[in-house]
Amino acid sequence: MTTAATTSPLDVLRDVFGYEEFRGQQAAVVDHLVGGGDAVVLMPTGGGKSLCYQIPSLVRPGTGVVISPLIALMADQVAALDNLGVRAAYLNSTLDFEQAQDVERKLLEGELDLLYLAPERLVLPRTMALLERAEVALFAIDEAHCVSQWGHDFRSDYLGLGVLAQRFPTVPRIALTATATPATHAELTARLHLADAEHFVASFDRPNITYRIEPKNSARTQLLNFITTEHPGDSGIVYCLSRRGVDQLAEALVARGIPALPYHAGLPAGVRADHQARFLREDGLVMVATIAFGMGIDKPDVRFVAHLDLPRSVEGYYQETGRAGRDGLPADAWMVYGLGDVVSQRRLIESGEGDQVFKRRAMSHLDSMLALCETVDCRRVQLLRYFDEESGPCGNCDTCATPPATWDATVAVQKLLSAVIRLDRERGQRFGAGQIIDVLRGNDNERSRASAHQELSVWGIGDDLSEAEWKTVIRQVLARGLLESHGDYGVLVLGEDTGPVLRGESAVFLRVDPVRKPGSSARKNGSKLRGDPAESLDAADSALFESLRTWRAEQAKEQGVPAYVVFPDATLYGIVEARPSSIAELGGVSGVGLKKLERYGPGVLEIIAGRG
Ligand code: ADP
Ligand code: ZN
């Protein structure tokens, strides 16, 4: 599209993107860049980072150059812009010589509004020379945390991007990321030479995500229940720790009629690319994956992210759950975890690579994650505090919906610690949770008899609690560091500060694990911030929504693009609500810009009129 020099950012937002207003700090970022300033933007996933550089690229003369590490996603990003009538292209290794030449020609002749490049391509002398001959509106460095060597996504090619400051001193630069820690923020500012940039740091809250963490009984059954009762037909991501776990679970879901695909680093690159493309393109697929999956996946309508294994850190958990609900509609972050997760995560750290300092850091990350799991306070308050943000109880998490009951477990914990001490002293041996529970409950079985545990003074002192109850006690005591688990067998040893509890000087209150009836959910009982549009549709509305979804799938298939490129769910709901009967009315729906109105308007109106 050709924009006259007088076009304002707000006009571009309305005409091209079909949105009425800027969100949060978007307007401020856009104005700053249009005025020629540099910017560092920290915004959560779904916060609307793309518009921060896309609109200035359209308003300023020349081409906006976007640097992104995600080659596999560039084609979709360009297709989405093309659907909006924006002239965009990418240069990467998937293009052949002639295609690349064509893009370069368009760039030099001023026929591109946006150009996507991978960092390794950008730093080539040839590319630098090309850009110096072109008119560059701005440089946008997406996923800017990749320049941080301490971060989890470090890419050495990103280090070369600092050179842009010297080579293009008059071109504004904007660095964007959803990784919020102060350390990453400082490091990327320094490495990208953005000392004079203005910083825009948004709240990291994701109010439309409902956080829920439940005790693990039978993970697979719990997941099946969750999907079939709360998210039938929805797109979602399920994270598992191991590749084998991923493969088995994907198969199990398919066997139960839930369309699912596996994704992990052990699959051939071609299969991975195919599964990723299908997840982006098809409605209602569940991706079962290790953490290898996800960065840059900007599918807006992921309705749930489930964790069947405990994530290593709160940062990882927040990034993974953040892939749900980018469109702002209600979404679930759901996790089950149990005693076994605590033991296996500690074992992984102990036996993993890295020196003592590294391992201590990993343990402290795990401890923060466990504190989040065991909290009796609002999950969101805990999460945001981790990112240095203070907030009040959210009303949209499981602990807000059903505040967990606590009980005075001081005596039980004393018994547990005593059993661990006795076994160690009198048997000279350390045991895992199973055998310790046997001793506490006085379980007369072969295992106990073989070790003559019956003779211990602590034999049977804990028969007032069930096996399951002892497991939750041990899990929580491990989470608080009163016990530690070690080695391959997860043997339990005393933690550091047990003195006060053993002497009765400090009380221990533990949470009572909620017993949830199958099919019931925190979400239905809990107050929600925003209504789920899918739940408030009447029969006629649902029918129209389904017709629009079918029409959208056909359009997407014809163009070979993901469905949301045609219209995201949020826009389809907007159309159902407005039921426009003219092109002008349809143009008033959020997400319907001029180009899409021209392209899809007649088709959509036919469907509303029942003739589609
Ligand atoms: P991020 O890159 O920060 O994760 P995106 O740029 O992908 O977020 O935006 C998330 C979603 O919000 C997209 O579907 C986008 O079209 C939508 N969006 C962004 N800005 C606005 C706005 N001002 N009004 C309405 N929707 C918006
Ligand atoms: Zn809450």
Please tell me the distance between residue 308's alpha carbon and the centre of ligand 2 in angstroms. 21
Closest by CA position to 436, among listed 469, 386, 474, 398: 474
- 475-493 pLDDT tens trace: 889 888 899 888 777 889 9
Under a CB-based contact definition with an 8 Å cutoff, are residues 311 and 341 in contact? no
Region 454-482 average pLDDT: 90
pLDDT value of residue 517: 47
Region 561-576 average pLDDT: 92
Region 205-224 average pLDDT: 94
Region 228-250 average pLDDT: 96
Who's near 530: CB < 8 A, 6+ residues apart? 207, 208, 329, 330
Alpha helices in 109-242 (DSSP H): 119-122, 125-133, 164-167, 182-191, 219-230
pLDDT value of residue 522: 43
CB neighbour class for 159 (10 Å; exposed up to 12, middle 13-18, buried from 19): middle
Atom of ligand 1 nearest to the CA of 568: 14
Ligand 1, atom 27, lies closest to the CA of 48
Ligand 1, atom 10, lies closest to the CA of 46
Please tell me the distance between residue 391's alpha carbon and the centre of ligand 2 in angstroms. 10
Atom of ligand 1 nearest to the CA of 570: 14
Please tell me the distance between residue 402's alpha carbon and the centre of ligand 2 in angstroms. 10
pLDDT value of residue 529: 38
Atom of ligand 1 nearest to the CA of 43: 3
Please tell me the distance between residue 518's alpha carbon and the centre of ligand 1 in angstroms. 36
Mutational test site, ligand 1, from 13, 30, 50, max ligand atoms within 8 Å of CB: 50
**Partners of 304 in the β-ladder:** 236, 332
- 105-142 pLDDT tens trace: 999 999 999 999 999 999 999 999 999 999 999 999 99
**In this model, does residue 526 exceed pLDDT 50?**
no
- 282-332 pLDDT tens trace: 889 999 999 989 887 889 999 999 999 999 999 889 989 999 999 889 999
CA 228 – CA 234 distance, rounded (Å): 10
**In this model, does residue 608 exceed pLDDT 80?**
yes
Q: Give, in order, the Cα–Cα distances in Å from 442 to each of 416, 436, 462, 536.
A: 13, 10, 8, 54
Residue 41 pLDDT class (50, 70, 90 cuts): very high
Atom of ligand 1 nearest to the CA of 45: 4
- Out of 275-284, 392-401, 537-546, the most confident range is 392-401
Domains of the chain from N-terminus onward: 9-201 (3.40.50.300), 209-401 (3.40.50.300), 406-511 (1.10.10.10), 537-610 (1.10.150.80)
Categorise residue 299: left if φ over 0, alpha if ψ from -120 to 50, beta otherwise.
beta
The closest ligand to the CA of 526 turns out to be: 2
**In this model, does residue 503 exceed pLDDT 60?**
yes
Q: For tokens 């929600």, name the residue.
A: 528
* Percent of the chain predicted with pLDDT > 70: 95
Under a CB-based contact definition with an 8 Å cutoff, are residues 400 and 421 in contact? no
pLDDT value of residue 6: 60
Task: Name the pairing type of β-strands 235-239 and 302-307.
Answer: parallel
The closest ligand to the CA of 328 turns out to be: 1
In residues, how long is the chain? 612
**In this model, does residue 148 exceed pLDDT 90?**
no
Residue 89 pLDDT class (50, 70, 90 cuts): very high
Residue 470 pLDDT class (50, 70, 90 cuts): very high
Please tell me the distance between residue 189's alpha carbon and the centre of ligand 1 in angstroms. 24
Positive/negative CA dihedral, 387, 390, 391, 392? positive
pLDDT value of residue 523: 45
Please tell me the distance between residue 398's alpha carbon and the centre of ligand 2 in angstroms. 7
CA 209 – CA 195 distance, rounded (Å): 34
Ligand 1, atom 24, lies closest to the CA of 19
pLDDT value of residue 3: 46
Q: For tokens 């209600």, name the residue.
A: 330
pLDDT value of residue 497: 87
Give the environment of ion ligand 2: residues with CB less than 5 A. Answer: 378, 380, 394, 397, 400
CA 295 – CA 198 distance, rounded (Å): 26
Please tell me the distance between residue 22's alpha carbon and the centre of ligand 1 in angstroms. 10
DSSP state of 23: -
pLDDT value of residue 294: 87
**Partners of 210 in the β-ladder:** 332
Task: Indicate the range of 402-411, 452-461, 502-511, 577-586 predicted with least confidence.
Answer: 452-461
Q: What is the DSSP string of 83-139?
A: HTT--EEEESTTS-HHHHHHHHHHHHTT--SEEEE-HHHHTSHHHHHHHHHS-EEEE
pLDDT value of residue 521: 47
Atom of ligand 1 nearest to the CA of 21: 23
What ranges make up the beta strands (E) of 191-314? 198-201, 209-215, 235-239, 260-263, 286-289, 302-307
Atom of ligand 1 nearest to the CA of 13: 23
Average pLDDT, the chain: 90
**Model pTM above 0.85:** no
For ligand 1, which residues put their CB under 6 angstroms from it? Answer: 19, 22-23, 26, 43, 45-51, 298, 300, 326-327, 568, 590
